[in-house]
């Protein structure tokens, strides 16, 4: 399954495709953006969690080193905590 990402023009509301979009994924994704807005993590409900950095200017997603992360069967939710 493919997932499409867009930026939204704050003035006109026009959508512009994010570089690299569409992104490959599974049929049952669940994701979360970390509190800093720099990372997004997506579980595919298969056996992986995918991590991406978010480009602050374009919104483009780039895989985090080592991603996807094997989790075993059926990861459903992702929780991100702030490290001290």
Q: How is the chain split into domains, by residue range?
A: 2-70
DSSP string, 34-84: -TTSSEEEEE-SSSEEEEEEE-TTT--EEEPTTPSEE--S-----------
Q: How far is CA 38 from the centre of its chain?
A: 10
Each of the 84 residues of the chain gets a pLDDT tens digit; together they read 677 777 778 788 888 888 788 877 666 677 777 777 788 888 777 678 888 888 888 777 888 999 888 887 777 667 776 665
What six digits make up the tokens of 25? 């994924």
Pairwise CA distance, residues 11 & 13, whole Å: 6
- Evaluate if pTM is beyond 0.75: no
Pairwise CA distance, residues 45 & 84, whole Å: 29
């Amino acid at each position: 399954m493919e997932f499409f990402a867009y930026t939204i023009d704050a003035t006109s509301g026009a959508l512009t495709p994010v570089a690299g979009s569409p992104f490959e994924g599974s049929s049952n994704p669940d994701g979360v953006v970390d509190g800093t807005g720099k990372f997004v993590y997506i579980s595919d409900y298969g056996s992986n969690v995918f991590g991406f950095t978010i480009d602050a200017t374009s919104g483009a997603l780039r895989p985090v080193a080592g991603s996807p992360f094997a989790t075993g069967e059926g990861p459903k939710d992702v929780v991100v905590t702030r490290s001290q």
